[in-house]
Amino acid sequence: MTSTQASRPLRIGNASGFYGDRFDAMREMLTGGELDVLTGDYLAELTMLILGRDRLKDPRAGYARTFLRQLEECLGLAHERGVRIVANAGGLNPAGLADAVRQLADRLGTPVRVAHVEGDDLHSRYPDSLAAHAYLGGFGIAACLREGADIVVTGRVTDAALVTGPAAAHFGWGPGDHDRLAGAVVAGHVLECGAQATGGNYAFFDEFRKSGGDLRHPGFPLAELHEDGTCVITKHPGTGGLVDVGTVTAQLLYETAGARYAGPDVTARLDTVRLTQDGPDRVRVEGVRGEAPPPTLKVGVNRLGGFRNEVAFVLTGLDVEAKAALVREQMTDALSKSPPADVRWDLVRTDRADAPTEETASALLRLVVRDRDQETVGRTLSGAAVELALASYPGFHVLAPPGKGSPYGVFEDVYVPHGAVDHVAVLHDGRRIPVPPAPDTAVLDDVPQPPPPDPLPPGPTQHAPLGLVAGARSGDKGGNANVGVWVRTDEAYRWLAHELTVDRFRQLIPESGQLKVARHLLPDLRALNFVVEGVLGEGVAAQHRFDPQAKALGEWLRSRHLDIPETLL
C-alpha cells in the first residue's frame, strides 16, 4: 500500500442487510458509482438458527446460498471494476462457501483470489447447541485483504467488522488505533442494515414523500472513510431514498444500548459522535472516540427450544368478550388431558361498532402454545380447535387451521476470553495466518449519565402523539429490546429529556411495567435510548410476543399521547 492509497478515502458500500435482502442490490451497487469495497451482512441471531437447521439436513450447507447466486451475476463485474467483496455469508460454513466461490469463479473464467476467516465456531464447547459462534472482529478480514484477496467470506463476525477489516487493511491501522477503529465501527453500524440508512423504515418517511422524494426503491448506503476515522455517509447518485442526519441518527440508535458500543476490536463511544449535513444525501460523521475492547468475546448460542403452534379465532360482531371467554374455556378443557407447557392468549380488538365490512367487525383471539413434545402442540391442539367448529360461539371460524407444530429456537449470550478462539485468516493459496487477540482490553464500566439540559419554560400544551415531534427506531438483542428516540431541535430535546423518563416510558409501554428499563442520554444526537430487558423472552426465534423482534415497538411509542408544548408543534 502506497502513501497515496492510504491518504485517499476508502469507499465502502453495502449490498445486504439480512439474508433475504434485495437480490439486485449487489449489481446496483457495482454499477451505480465508484466503490473500493462492497460488503454484505447476511447474518442475524435468527439466521444462525436457520443455517444450523440447514446443516443438520446437509453437512455441506450452512451458508447463505443467495450470496452465491448474486456472485454468479456479478463476480465478473466486480473483477472488472476492481471492487473487493467482503461478506459474512459463510455463516456456519465459511470454508464451504469459499470453496463454492472458487468453483464458481473457475466455471465463469474469472481469476479472483478467495479467502475466508474462521475460528468463530465454538460448538464443541456447547455440544447441546445447534450453533454456537463467537463474534470476531475485523483483523482476520484485514489479513486476507493485505495478502491480496479479492473475495473474503466469514462466519460470525460483528456487523461492523465488515468495515473495520477493510479500513484497517487500507490505512494500515493496528489494534491500538482506537479512535480510528471506533470511527470505522460507527460507519459499519450505519451501513450494516442497508436501506435503513437511506430512508427505509424511517419515522419521518411521509415528510420526505410529500416533499417529492421517492422511497419506492431506496439506494443502498456507502461510506467515504478517511484515514483519521471520520467518514461521510452517502449513496450512489440518482438512487432513491435519502441520507440526512435523521436517517443516520435512526440507524446509529438501532440495536444499541448505552454510550459504549463494545466490540472485539474496539469500544466506540456513541456519546462522542457528531453528525452534520454535508450536502444533499451526505452526512459527515466525526468526533468518534474509541477505547480498548472488553476482555471477553460475545458468543451467540442457539438451541432448539421445542415446538410451537398457534390458532387465531375470528370473533365477529357483538359480544366479543363473551365469545372469547367461551372458546377459551372450551380450549382449556380440551387441552387439560395433555396441557402444553406454555399457553398464551391474546385478544386483539381490531373490530369496530356498526362496521361497514365483516372484516372490520371482527376481532382476533390468538392462542399460542409451546412444548417440548411436538404431538402436544400439533395434533392435540389441531384436534381440539377443529372439533369446536360446530360447538362454540356464533360465527365460529379461524384464520387457518393449526398445523403439526414447528420447532422454535432459544438464543443465549455467553462470553469467553479472547484467547478462547482460534481466529485465523485462510488465504487463497491455503496459507493460514493466526490473528492474535486484542493486546489491550478494558472492563466496561457504566458511563456517567450527562445531566439533562435545562427544561423548557412552562407554557400551553396539546395532548398529542409523541411522533409529531420525535422519531424512533427499535430492535432486538437476544431477549432485550431497545428503543432509540430522537428529536430534531435543541428545544425539543430540552423537553424530551425531562418528559420521557423511565416512569413515563413504563406508562406508555405497559408491558415494560414489571421489567428492567434503562435510559441513556445521548445529547449530541438529541436522543434517548431505552433498553427493556426480557421483553422478548428467549429471543426472536422463540416468538415470545406479537412483534418478536420489537421492530415496531418504537412506532407504538410514537403513537402514544403526551402533553406536548405548543411551541414544538
Neighbours of 337 (CB within 10 A): 8
Give me the pLDDT at residue 56, please.
86
Greater confidence (121 vs 404) lies with 121
Taking the CA atoms of residue 135, residue 306, residue 540 and residue 405 in that order, the dihedral angle to the nearest 10 degrees is 140
pLDDT at 342: 92
Question: What is the amino acid identity at position 258?
Answer: G
The domain of 507 spans 461-568
Residues 28 and 74 in one domain: yes
Q: What is the pLDDT of residue 6?
A: 59
Residues 494 and 424 grouped into a single domain: no
The answer as to whether 397 is a domain residue is no
Contacts of 77 (CB under 8 A, 6+ apart): 27, 30, 31
Distant-in-sequence, close-in-space partners of 16: CB < 8 Å, separation ≥ 6: 22, 25, 26, 40, 41, 42, 67, 87, 89, 194
Residue 1 has pLDDT above 70, yes or no: no
Which of 13-22, 31-40, 105-114, 472-481 has the weakest average pLDDT? 472-481
| Cross-strand partners of 116 | 153, 426
178-to-12, 93, 164, 436 alpha-carbon distances in Å: 20, 31, 11, 16
Residue 293: pLDDT over 70? yes
**H or E stretch covering 420:** none
In a domain, 326, yes or no: no
In a domain, 440, yes or no: no
In a domain, 22, yes or no: yes
The rounded distance, in Å, linking the Cα atoms of 130 and 306 is 12
Mean pLDDT, the chain, rounded, equals 95
- How far apart are alpha carbons 339 and 372 in whole angstroms? 12
Instruction: Tell me: pLDDT of 257 over 70.
Output: yes
- 55 and 151 in a single domain? The answer is yes
User: Is 346 within a domain?
Assistant: no
Cell numbers found for residue 167 = 479500513
> Span 484-496, mean pLDDT?
97
Residues 234 and 124 in one domain: yes
> Is 426 a domain residue?
yes
Beta strand residue intervals within 437-496, DSSP E: 461-465, 470-477, 480-487
* pLDDT tens readout for residues 452-465: 999 999 999 999 99
Amino acid of residue 548: P
Asked if residue 351 belongs to a domain, the reply is: no
Name residues whose C-beta falls within 8 Å of residue 235's C-beta, 6 or more positions apart in sequence: 198, 219, 220, 221, 222, 241, 243, 281
DSSP 347-388: EE----TT-SSTGGGEEEEEEEEEES-HHHHTHHHHHHHHTT
Torsion-angle region of 494 (φ positive above 0: left; ψ -120 to 50: alpha; else: beta): alpha
- 65-81 helix and 25-32 helix, angle to the nearest 10 degrees: 10
- Report whether pLDDT(555) > 90: yes
Element (H, E) at 116: strand 114-118
With respect to residue 476, please indicate whether it lies within any of the assigned structural domains: yes
Tell me if 404 sits within 8 A of 383, measured CB to CB: no
Confidence bin at 53 (pLDDT 50/70/90): confident
Composition of the chain by helix, strand, coil, percent to 5: 35, 25, 40
Least confident stretch, 74-78, 79-83, 140-144, 545-549 = 545-549
Q: Identify whether residues 39 and 128 lie together within a single domain.
A: yes
CA torsion sign, 557 to 561 to 562 to 568?
A: positive
Same domain assignment for residues 506 and 430: no
Structural domains counted in the chain: 2
Q: How far apart are CA 447 and CA 522, in angstroms?
A: 11
Return the number of other C-beta atoms located less than 10 Å from residue 123's C-beta.
15
- Mean of pLDDT values over 214-219: 95
Residue 24 in this model has a pLDDT that exceeds 60: yes
What kind and span of H or E run contains 147? none
Q: Residue for cell digits 464451504?
A: 96
Predicted local confidence at residue 446, as pLDDT:
82
Sorting pLDDT into bands at 50, 70 and 90, what band is 178?
very high
| DSSP three-state, residue 210 | helix
Continuous segment of H or E residues that includes residue 329: helix 320-334
Given a contact cutoff of 8 angstroms between Cβ atoms, the answer to whether 209 and 285 are in contact is no
- Average pLDDT rounded to a whole number, residues 25-36: 98
Candidates 536, 528, 524, 450; CA nearest to 484 is: 528
Co-location of 418 and 470 in the same domain: no
Same domain, 499 and 422: no
| Nearest-angstrom CA–CA distance, 429 and 135 | 25
Q: Phi/psi at 372 (nearest 5 deg)?
A: -70, -25
8 A C-beta contact, residue 458 and residue 499: no
Q: What is the mean pLDDT of residues 379-398?
A: 94
Range list of β-strands (E), 123-212: 131-134, 151-154
Instruction: Scan for cell 380488538, then name that residue.
Output: 349
The rounded distance, in Å, linking the Cα atoms of 427 and 433 is 8
371 pLDDT above the threshold of 60: yes
pLDDT in the model for residue 2: 52
- 285 and 227, same structural domain? yes
pLDDT at position 445 is 87
Instruction: Compute the distance between CA of residue 461 and CA of residue 488 in angstroms, rounded to an integer.
Output: 19
Structure confidence at residue 564 (pLDDT): 97
413-443 b/e (C-beta count within 10 Å ≥ 16 → b): ebeeebeebebbbbbbeeeebebebbeebee
| Residues 200, 75 share a domain | yes
Of 208, 288, 290, the C-alpha closest to 247 is: 208
Give the mean pLDDT of 195-202. 97
For residues 427 and 484, state if they share a domain.
Answer: no
Does residue 417 sit in the same domain as residue 471? no
Closest CA to 375 of 356, 403, 394, 348: 403
CA–CA distances in Å: residue 166 to residues 119, 136, 142, 430, 569: 19, 14, 6, 21, 45
Quick check: 530 and 503 in contact, CB under 8 A? no
Taking the CB of residue 71, how many other CB atoms lie within 10 A of it?
24
Is pLDDT of 4 > 90?
no
User: pTM (2 decimals)?
Assistant: 0.94
